[in-house]
Copies of this chain bind each other. A is one copy, B any other.
Amino acid sequence: MKSGLGKEPLRRFRRHEHLALGGEAQDRVYRLDEGWACRYTLLPDGRRQITALYLPGDVCEPQWVISSKAELSIVALTDVIATEIPLGSIRNASDEGVSELIDALMTNFNRQSDWIVSLGRRSANGRITALFAEIYSRLQQNGRVRQPCTIPLTQQDIADVVGLTPVHVNRVVSELRRQGLVQFSGKTIIVPRPDEIDRQQDGMGLAG
């Protein structure tokens, strides 16, 4: 384990390492400097549903400022470098730190509402293209867009976000590649023209 002596607030997590466990008290939040993480729920039969994605530049999780408790577990989807922000350091400090986190909390809240719409009413194709478009948009807002937009998620990870099986995710993503809407670099997915992906998601029919 890394024990940053001195005042170094950086924390490293390996892929599959937990940033928080469901039920745990939290006295800090993390700002992801590099790497991706997610909040998830496990079902009794072992299947997983991811309920929030955390991208480079995101704060994880803003609501800990209010509740000081992790309702669900958070796990690293890639190797992660994060800045630890103790809650005590911002509760009494300027309002700016808090209001930035409150803004992030509301953004996450609204994003969850949007995702309910996708899961409830969009087909596999619509959910996956909507996810890619959302990822690009968020990376752009965080100032983390490289040329072009790369997505370091496994197809299993994607399946657990969009509520599908990895097999079907593979078929949909393969079709997107055939159409030139995404490319592959090894196993990582690249979205060359995010605006075209974005146009894809409108008019996608009912799932099922």
* Number of A residues, CB within 8 Å of B: 37
Give Cα distance in the complex from A163 to B122, angstroms: 9
CB distance from A127 to the nearest CB of B (A): 9
Interface residues of A in 140-197 (CB under 8 A from B): 162-163, 165
Q: Which residues of B contact A41 (CB under 8 A)?
A: 113-114, 117
Residues 49-88 of A contacting B (Cβ, < 8 Å): 49, 51-52, 63, 66-67, 71-72
Chain B residue at smallest Cβ distance from A52: B113
On whether the beta carbons of A116 and B117 are closer than 8 Å, the reply is no
Partner of A163, one of B39, B63, B121, B165: B121
Contact with B along A98-125 (1 / 0, CB 8 A): 0000100110111011111101110000
Tell me if A45 counts as interface (CB < 8 A to partner B): yes
Listed in ascending order, the chain A residues whose CB lies under 8 Å from chain B are 39, 41, 43-45, 47, 49, 51-52, 63, 66-67, 71-72, 102, 105-106, 108-110, 112-117, 119-121, 162-163, 165, 202-203, 206-208
